[in-house]
């Protein structure tokens, strides 16, 4: 987003070039801005409470979308991220209950590392078995959800107040301070985004996603890049799980939560402009799109639309946006 | 990743010959796995190896198998239907709500739901080029939202399916030995296998998934092929949902939820490529039967839900790995 101001100084052709590469991301954030403004006119008062409601609640899905984005950019897809989120949520809620803040942070760090290693192994299995990503991760969706259920058979657990504050700005999970969540998400998005485009390893993920053969011939170690993408995706899924723990103050080991979260993460990245074929898109768009998907609910509720119709409208909106994208893409192909 | 070494004829050892044989006939591997699983289940629960035990598995496998047919057809074109379970649920819901108007009206309207939802998916994917994964995820949300509000409105009423639907979904004939649902599945199987193998439309499906550009240049109208494929998939999912409702007797909005991922898994285990162009329905049938036996086995083991999920995922992973390592030899 910071690039907007610098691009104004550039020449027309450079601006057009910038827009061609980042237009979709910009569009997503403009759409989000418009939706926030619209929402603020719908509720009696728009303040910290409303803002934190939006950001806090979209935090898990935004982290999950970031993780999915990294994996999809590298040419994969991970249907298991939702289960990884649930698994982390459950383990965190079980072991953080009644512990001090320091212990909670220690648990969080260990969980992120463990999730990264576990999902890295998933990437390794995909490499070795040569079975398509979608199939392997369909299996891990069940396996991780099973682990979660084994660890915490029924919803429960807890987290120390200060840990919950870290993600939600409030020790009870609901408050008027939106900053911690905003900073958390902006930081994660920026770090992952910059790592992807500024470092050797990050760029190798784009290379692998756009053309594995070309990447291999130009010296990328494809199997390493694949494992790396899954490991980072797993770590971010763990962040989503920790955010869920902070938000709800408990763990919920349900497979349906996992599969819904996975599908939402895929919807968010596609809406965020990341091509499912790999190699195209930015994580900045993905995290924006995740909030767009979430904010529709409070807007439609404020408009007096019942939650069921809200789901219909949300589905129609996703299809509508992608239909426009599809038509634009077809026109561009015809012209070139 | 795709660095294939130049083809060197392998040393003619006995092991390589057997490997090559299995690679050419993967269905033999699948049927072996199926038989082993049935025997293992029989070892766990001796009563399983009887007509009634196997009939139970067949009844579990039928809805998964029919919904997996829609996944197979679409995966061959390079697509997928993540709204299949929701289409199945919606069709079953309509069938139950219309039960008082007679079985044929009820089933007809149920299948009409499948046609409608399938056509919407087909238009999105075929005409507007929306990614199938996203198109069908969104469609699933739309159907769920619509039916959740309708269930409190004009659809509020019977959630119990009629006697006829219960008969075809769960009852058997010939002294209760052969379920009607299995006969319906057999008829559908003959039609789908015949369509995929012997009709021009079937070949167009493979062509679309194998190389969409080449298929277009060869004169197929890809949007029409995709539209019909998605409508067909919608109808198959609807039939699967109605049979499931018939087996269970009543419907709710989560009726077929648990069938979505198994339906994809069945097609994948059966060797249909998620990237399109490769696959057969006969493989998918074995996939559905294997999953059916598996779920019976897990029930007999009395493993908790957690262990069931872990085992289910591990076995899907293991079978997919096995299948790909066998068939890669060709």
Cβ <8 Å between A263 and B137 = yes
Whole-number pLDDT of residue B13: 58
pLDDT per position as a tens digit, A274-326: 888 888 888 999 999 999 988 888 888 888 888 788 888 888 888 887 788 77
Lookup: tokens for B56:
């139970």
Q: What one-character-per-residue DSSP string does B202-218 give?
A: HHHHHHHHH-HHHHHHT
Cβ <8 Å between A322 and B131 = yes
Give B143's pLDDT tier (boundaries 50, 70, 90). very high
**Exposed / middle / buried, residue A321 (Cβ in 10 Å: 0-12, 13-18, 19+):** buried
Give B2's pLDDT tier (boundaries 50, 70, 90). very low
Asked whether residue B7 is domain-assigned, the answer is: no
pLDDT per position as a tens digit, B54-72: 888 888 899 999 999 999 9
Strand pairing class (B172-173; B178-179) = antiparallel
CA-closest candidate to residue B188, choices B282, B314, B85, B295: B282
Q: Which residues pair with A122 in a beta bridge?
A: none
Cβ <8 Å between B137 and A319 = no
Asked whether residue B185 is domain-assigned, the answer is: yes
Please say whether the beta carbons of A274 and A72 come within 8 A: yes
Question: What is the chain A residue with the closest CA to B326?
Answer: A129
Asked whether residue B23 is domain-assigned, the answer is: no
Range of lowest pLDDT (A127-141, B239-253, B303-317):
B303-317
Q: Name the minimum distance, in Å, from the CA of A203 to any CA of chain B.
A: 17
Please say whether the beta carbons of A125 and A237 come within 8 A: no
Whole-number pLDDT of residue B1: 44
Backbone Cα Rg of chain B: 20
Lookup: tokens for B189:
């199987």
Whole-number pLDDT of residue A9: 52
CB pairs under 8 A between A and B: 163
Whole-number pLDDT of residue B329: 54
Give B84's pLDDT tier (boundaries 50, 70, 90). very high
Domain boundaries, chain A: 48-326
What range does the domain containing B165 cover?
63-260
Residue positions counted in chain B? 330
Please say whether the beta carbons of B94 and B113 come within 8 A: yes
Asked whether residue B234 is domain-assigned, the answer is: yes
Cβ <8 Å between B306 and A147 = yes
Q: Which residues contact B70 (CB under 8 A, 6 or more apart)?
A: B81, B84, B232, B233, B234, B236, B237, B240, B263
Higher pLDDT, B13 or B108: B108
Tell me if chain B has a CB within 8 Å of the CB of A33: no
Q: Name the minimum distance, in Å, from the CA of A191 to any CA of chain B.
A: 27
Distance CA A269, CA A290 (A): 8
Q: Which of A84, A121, A133, A146 to mutate to test the interface with B (most CBs of B within 10 A)?
A: A146
List, for chain A, all residue ranges whose pLDDT scores fall below the cut of 70: 1-11, 335-336
Q: What is the pTM of this model?
A: 0.84
pLDDT of B169 strictly over 90: no
DSSP summary character for residue B10:
P
Q: Name the minimum distance, in Å, from the CA of A160 to any CA of chain B.
A: 27
**With contacts defined as CB-CB under 8 Å, which chain B residues touch A224?**
none
Q: Which DSSP helix (H) or strand (E) runs through A296?
A: helix A283-302
**Exposed / middle / buried, residue B5 (Cβ in 10 Å: 0-12, 13-18, 19+):** exposed
**With contacts defined as CB-CB under 8 Å, which chain A residues touch B324?**
129-131
Lookup: tokens for B286:
């074995």
Distance CA B31, CA B18 (A): 16
CA-closest candidate to residue B132, choices B70, B86, B85, B81: B81
Higher pLDDT, B95 or A231: A231
Tell me if chain B has a CB within 8 Å of the CB of A132: yes
Q: Name the minimum distance, in Å, from the CA of A1 to any CA of chain B.
A: 26
Question: What is the chain A residue with the closest CA to B137?
Answer: A263
Give B12's pLDDT tier (boundaries 50, 70, 90). low
Asked whether residue B309 is domain-assigned, the answer is: no
Going A36 to A38 to A40 to A42, the CA torsion angle's sign is negative
Question: What is the chain A residue with the closest CA to B147?
Answer: A308
Cβ <8 Å between A141 and B261 = yes
Q: What is the ipTM of this complex?
A: 0.81
Distance CA B56, CA B70 (A): 23
Whole-number pLDDT of residue A336: 63
Summary mean pLDDT of chain B: 85
Q: Name the minimum distance, in Å, from the CA of B223 to any CA of chain A.
A: 13
Q: Which DSSP helix (H) or strand (E) runs through B173?
A: strand B172-173
Q: Which DSSP helix (H) or strand (E) runs through A142?
A: helix A133-151
pLDDT of B31 strictly over 80: yes
pLDDT per position as a tens digit, B107-117: 999 999 999 99
Tell me what the mean pLDDT of segment B223-227 comes to.
Answer: 92
Please state which CATH number belongs to domain A48-326.
Answer: 1.10.3470
Q: Name the minimum distance, in Å, from the CA of A9 to any CA of chain B.
A: 36
Cβ <8 Å between B130 and A146 = no
Please say whether the beta carbons of B260 and B82 come within 8 A: yes
Instruction: Give me the number of domains chain B comprises.
Output: 1
């Amino acid at each position: 987003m910071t690039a907007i101001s610098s691009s104004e100084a550039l020449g027309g052709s450079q601006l057009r070039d910038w827009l061609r590469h980042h237009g979709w991301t910009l569009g997503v954030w403009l759409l989000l801005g418009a939706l926030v403004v619209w929402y603020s006119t719908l509720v009696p008062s728009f303040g910290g409470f409303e803002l934190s409601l939006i950001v806090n609640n979209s935090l898990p899905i935004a982290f999950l979308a970031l993780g999915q984005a990294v994996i999809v950019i590298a040419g994969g897809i991970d249907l298991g991220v939702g289960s990884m989120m649930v698994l982390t949520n459950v383990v965190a809620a079980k072991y953080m209950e009644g512990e001090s803040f320091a212990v909670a942070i220690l648990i969080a760090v260990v969980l992120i590392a463990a999730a990264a290693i576990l999902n890295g192994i998933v990437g390794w299995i995909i490499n070795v078995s040569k079975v398509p990503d979608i199939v392997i991760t369909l299996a891990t969706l069940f396996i991780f959800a099973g682990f979660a259920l084994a660890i915490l058979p029924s919803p429960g657990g807890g987290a120390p107040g200060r840990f919950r504050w870290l993600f939600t700005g409030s020790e009870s999970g609901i408050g008027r301070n939106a900053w911690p969540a905003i900073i958390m998400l902006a930081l994660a998005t920026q770090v992952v985004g910059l790592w992807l485009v500024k470092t050797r390893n990050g760029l190798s993920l784009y290379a692998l996603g756009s053309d594995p053969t070309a990447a291999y011939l130009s010296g990328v170690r494809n199997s390493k890049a694949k494992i790396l993408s899954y490991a980072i995706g797993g770590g971010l899924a763990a962040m989503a799980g920790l955010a869920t723990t902070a938000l709800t103050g408990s763990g919920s080991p349900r497979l349906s939560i996992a599969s819904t979260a996975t599908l939402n993460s895929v919807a968010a990245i596609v809406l965020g402009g990341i091509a499912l074929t790999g190699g195209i898109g930015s994580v900045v768009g993905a995290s924006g799109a995740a909030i767009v998907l979430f904010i529709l609910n409070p807007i439609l509720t404020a408009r007096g639309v019942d939650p069921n119709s809200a789901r219909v409208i949300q589905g129609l909106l996703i299809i509508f946006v992608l239909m426009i994208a599809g038509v634009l893409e077809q026109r561009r192909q015809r012209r070139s | 990743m795709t660095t294939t070494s130049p083809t060197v004829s392998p040393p003619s050892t006995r092991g390589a010959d057997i490997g090559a044989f299995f690679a050419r006939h993967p269905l033999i591997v699948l049927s072996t796995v199926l038989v082993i699983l049935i025997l293992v289940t029989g070892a766990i629960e001796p009563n399983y190896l009887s007509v009634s035990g196997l009939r139970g598995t067949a009844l579990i496998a039928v809805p998964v198998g029919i919904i997996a047919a829609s996944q197979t057809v679409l995966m061959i074109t390079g697509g997928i239907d993540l709204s299949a379970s929701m289409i199945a649920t919606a069709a079953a819901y309509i069938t139950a709500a219309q039960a008082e108007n007679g079985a044929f009206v009820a089933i007809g309207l149920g299948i009409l739901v499948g046609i409608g939802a399938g056509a919407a998916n087909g238009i999105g994917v075929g005409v507007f080029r929306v990614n199938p994964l996203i198109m069908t995820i969104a469609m699933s949300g739309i159907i769920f939202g619509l039916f959740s509000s309708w269930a409190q409105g004009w659809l509020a009423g019977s959630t119990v399916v009629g006697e006829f639907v219960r008969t075809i979904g769960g009852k058997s004939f010939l002294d209760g030995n052969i379920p009607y649902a299995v006969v319906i599945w057999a008829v559908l199987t003959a039609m789908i296998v015949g369509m995929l193998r012997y009709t021009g439309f079937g070949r167009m499906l493979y062509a679309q998934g194998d190389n969409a550009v080449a298929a277009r240049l060869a004169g197929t109208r890809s949007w029409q092929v995709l539209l019909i494929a998605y409508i067909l998939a919608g109808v198959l999912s609807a039939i699967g949902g109605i049979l499931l409702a018939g087996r269970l007797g009543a419907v709710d909005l989560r009726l077929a939820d648990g069938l979505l991922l198994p339906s994809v898994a069945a097609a994948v285990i059966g060797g249909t490529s998620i990237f399109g162009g490769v696959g057969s329905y006969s493989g998918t049938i074995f996939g559905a039967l294997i999953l059916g036996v598996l779920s019976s086995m897990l029930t007999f083991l009395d493993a908790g839900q957690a262990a069931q999920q872990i085992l289910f995922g591990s076995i899907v992973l293991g079978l997919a790995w096995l299948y790909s390592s066998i068939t890669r030899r060709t």
